[in-house]
Structures are given as C-alpha cells and as structure tokens.
C-alpha cells in the first residue's frame, strides 16, 4: 500500500493498521488529545488507535471512546534514558503500528517510534528531528492554538483547519459513579467540586476557603478534588467550610475523574481537572487569571468563564508564572461571593434542564 496515499485525506476503510499517538503528558493536554483521536477515527474508522501514556494519565484512557488501549511507559523528563527508549521501541515494534503521530516537538519524543521502525512517523519538524520523523510538517508557529497544532497532525498535510474541532469526551458509566459515591460515603445529592490546584501558583484563585464556606451556608455539599500536592489547600478549605466539606484529594487520578463526573458543578482554575470536568459534560466554571481562555479553555465550552475585566487590568493575560505588575490582581479581584452566585445559577440551570 502506498504510504503517501494514506496521507492524502481519502478515508480507506480497508486499512486496519493500528495508529499510535505520542501525546503531551500533562493531564489537561492529555484530555485535549482526545480530539486528535476523534479526528483520526473520522478519517480512518477501521484503524485502532492507541495512546502512549504515563502511569499518572493512564486512568483517563479507560474513559476515552475510540481508544483501543493505553501503552503505559514512564520516561523521565530530565534525561534521555536510552535503555527505557529501547525497551519502549521493542514494545511498539511488537504491536505493528502503521502510523505514529508524535505531538510533542521534542527530539526525545520521536526516538522510540523511529527505533521501532513504524513506517509513517508524523510530526512537526520541531527540534530538527530529521531521520526520526519521515512525514515532516511545517508551519507549527502559524497555528493559533495548542489544539490546532496537535489536531492538524491528524489531518492530511496542508488541509485547512475546520471551523470547529470535535470536542474531547470522557464517559464514565453511571453504575461506576454510584459505587464510587457509596465507597466514599457520599450522598446522592448535588455537590460542588472545587479544584484549587494547578501547574503554576499564578493560576490559582485565592478564595476557595471562603467560597466553600459560602456554598455550605447555602446548603450545598462541597468536595475538594486534586492530587497529593493539593492536600494542604484541601485542609485549609475543610477548616473554613466545616464538616460538609470533604477532602477527596489523593494519588489516584481515577478518583478525581469520579468526583468530577459525580459533581453537580465544578469550579476550577485553569488546570487538568477543569479539562476533565468539561470533557465529562459536568457544568464547569473556569477561573482564569494570567492565562487566556481563548488559548487554554476546554473545547467543550464552559458553563461560566470567570475572568477579571480586561479594562481594569491591561496586563492580562500575561502567560507568566510570576506576577510582576499588579500583585496578582487578576485572581485576587475575583470575589468569592461572585463565584458562588454563578455556581448557584449554574446549578439551577442544570436542574431546570433535568426537569424539562
């Protein structure tokens, strides 16, 4: 079969060679990677799609429609790890992939697919990966958003971007959510999930403890969701809100997926959990400060985008990890009462949709 014809854009239903996606491994980026899966499945409906994944992100694969399996292989971020690369290449070779999409632009990300001899290795030239990739793409910097750069690799070379990409999807069976609630001693009523963490302190909203207290005063149950790094934040929020606030932070990302799937509304910084909640279809409020909702909000859309008035802060969005101008006003000036009022409205709208 002519390899070039496989990248021409014509769907070939007789082609059943599996496809490997080498994605970015940050949680939010990994969720958005499901858009790439959906584009590939539209183009080649009979080709199985697998994802390379880390142990951290592996639970997400179980809830992604259209993904055959995840290949769990942890590679260190700070070094090449030649032995691990050869081990991964051996594993990939055994699975007879016909195509690999290498989304990260790093040299290291393309090594194992090349060592495995995968016939089509698609990616942006990035760190001058000549020899590692054999289907080079150019023009990465001209693509406006991160999702555009990734999903464009699943299209034929040179194809125009669509008006809209397919949105990421995560689907959790209802009985699995019910078992999770029971195992954690949680009621079946509507709860508000708070995700106070993020990669980068500057993206963290200041007033989660106060918001938890206000939500509890309004008769709502509150869950604090996150990883082990958020344990200290969770303790502060529980102390402020009292016994109706549950600390659900922990080491297993699957627990975070369950919490976001079960919640009536999620309130989150610009973080991986925001993307998880949106992909699950949970009404999600994203609080943005230094980052741009246009560039980084979920494709799924948000029930509410909470952001400071740009006419007040001309420096926003700065995309910086450290505020150098306005003492983090882009986050500090968003009041807890404002966020809680929006959350109540979102919950009311969701309840109205259920009853109509």
Q: What is the pLDDT of residue 321?
A: 66
pLDDT digits (tens, 9 = 90+) for 111-136: 999 999 999 999 999 888 888 999 99
C-alpha–C-alpha distance, residues 331 and 236, integer Å: 18
**Which residue in the block uniquely carries the two structure tokens 């990883």?**
227
Angle at 147 between CA 274 and CA 250, to 5 degrees: 30
Half-sphere exposure (Cβ direction) of 274: Cα atoms closer than 13 Å: 27
pLDDT band at 162 (very low <50, low <70, confident <90, very high): very high
Write down the residue that tokens 């995700």 correspond to.
195
Which of 18-32, 232-246, 313-327 bottoms out in mean pLDDT, i.e. has the lowest?
Answer: 313-327
Express each pLDDT in 274-292 by its tens digit.
999 999 999 999 999 888 8
**pLDDT reported for residue 200:** 78
Residue range 93-98: mean pLDDT, rounded:
97
CATH architecture of the region 3-152: 3-Layer(aba) Sandwich (3.40)
Neighbours of 321 (CB within 10 A): 11
Q: What is the pTM of this model?
A: 0.92
Question: What are residue 121's DSSP bridge partners?
Answer: 100
pLDDT-above-90 percentage for the chain: 75
Q: What is the CATH number assigned to the segment(s) 174-355?
A: 3.40.50.2000
Residue 77, pLDDT score:
80
Q: What is the pLDDT of residue 6?
A: 42
Confidence of residue 263 (pLDDT cuts 50, 70, 90): very high
Query: Which comes out higher in pLDDT, residue 26 or 323?
Result: 26
- Cα(308)–Cα(325) distance, rounded to whole angstroms? 15
User: CA–CA distance from 22 to each of 19, 33, 212, 318, 339 (Å)?
Assistant: 10, 10, 39, 29, 37
pLDDT one-digit tens code per residue, 299-316: 998 999 998 876 567 777
Phi-psi group of 144: left, alpha or beta (phi > 0 → left; psi -120 to 50 → alpha; rest → beta)? alpha
Taking the CA atoms of 247, 248, 252 and 253 in sequence, report the sign of the dihedral they define: negative
Which residues are bridge partners to 99 per DSSP? Answer: 19, 120
pLDDT of residue 201: 82
User: Which of 272, 287, 215 has its CA nearest to residue 24?
Assistant: 272
CB 224 within 8 A of CB 234: yes
Q: Tell me how many degrees the CA angle 269-274-275 measures, rounded to the nearest 5.
A: 140
Q: With cut-offs at 50, 70 and 90, classify the pLDDT of residue 144.
A: confident
- Which pLDDT does position 189 carry in this prediction? 83
- Assigned token pair, 146: 């991160």
Q: What is the pLDDT of residue 2?
A: 37
The confidence score (pLDDT) of residue 5 equals 38
Residue-level pLDDT at 193: 98
Residue 277 CA to residue 78 CA, distance in Å, equals: 30
- Residue 7 pLDDT more than 60? no
What does the block give as tokens for 85?
Answer: 């690369």
Per-position DSSP letters for 212-269, written without gaps between them: HHHHHHTT-EEEE---GGGHHHHHHHHHHH-TTEEE---S-HHHHHHHHHH-SEEEEE
* Mean pLDDT score, 215-242: 96
Beta strand ranges found along the chain (DSSP E):
19-22, 49-53, 69-72, 99-102, 120-124, 135-137, 191-195, 221-224, 245-247, 265-269, 284-288, 304-307
Q: So what's the pLDDT on residue 205?
A: 94
Whether the per-residue pLDDT at 8 is higher than 50: the answer is no
Residue 109 has pLDDT above 90, yes or no: yes
Locate the domains of the chain by residue range.
3-152, 174-355
**pLDDT above 60 for 3:** no
Could you report how far apart the first and last alpha carbons of the chain are, in Å? 53
Rounded mean pLDDT, 266-275: 96
CB neighbourhood size of 207 (10 A): 21
Higher per-residue confidence, 37 vs 139: 37
Structure tokens belonging to residue 307? 């952001």
SS3 25: coil
């Amino acid at each position: 079969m002519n390899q070039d014809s496989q990248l021409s854009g014509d769907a070939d239903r007789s082609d059943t060679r599996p496809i490997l996606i080498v994605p970015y491994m940050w949680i939010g980026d990994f969720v958005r990677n499901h858009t790439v899966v959906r584009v590939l499945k539209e183009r080649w409906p009979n080709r199985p799609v697998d994802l390379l994944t880390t142990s951290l992100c592996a639970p997400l694969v179980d809830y992604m429609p259209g993904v055959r399996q995840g290949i769990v292989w942890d590679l260190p971020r700070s070094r090449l790890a030649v032995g691990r690369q050869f081990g991964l290449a051996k594993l990939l070779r055994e699975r007879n992939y016909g195509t690999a999409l290498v989304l990260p632009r790093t040299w290291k990300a393309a090594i194992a697919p090349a060592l495995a001899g995968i016939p089509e290795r698609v990616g942006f030239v990035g760190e001058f990966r000549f020899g590692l990739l054999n289907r080079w793409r150019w023009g990465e910097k001209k693509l406006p958003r991160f999702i555009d750069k990734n999903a464009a690799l699943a299209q034929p070379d040179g194809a125009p971007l669509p008006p809209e990409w397919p949105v990421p999807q995560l689907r959790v069976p209802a009985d699995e959510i019910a078992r999770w609630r029971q195992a954690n001693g949680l009621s079946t009523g509507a709860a508000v999930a708070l995700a106070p963490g993020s990669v980068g302190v500057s993206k963290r909203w200041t007033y989660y403890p106060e918001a938890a207290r206000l939500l509890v005063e309004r008769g709502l149950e509150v869950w604090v969701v996150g990883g082990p790094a958020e344990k200290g934040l969770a303790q502060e929020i529980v102390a402020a809100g009292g016994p109706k606030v549950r600390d659900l932070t922990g080491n297993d990302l699957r627990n975070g997926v369950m919490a976001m799937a079960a919640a009536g509304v999620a309130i989150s910084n610009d973080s991986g959990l925001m993307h998880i909640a949106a992909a699950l279809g949970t009404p999600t409020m994203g609080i943005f400060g230094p980052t741009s909702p246009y560039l980084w909000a979920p494709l799924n859309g948000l029930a509410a985008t909470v952001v400071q008035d740009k006419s007040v802060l001309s420096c926003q969005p700065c995309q910086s990890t450290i505020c150098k101008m306005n003492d983090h006003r882009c986050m500090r000036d968003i009041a807890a009462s404002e966020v809680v009022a929006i959350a109540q409205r979102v919950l009311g709208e969701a309840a109205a949709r259920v009853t109509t």
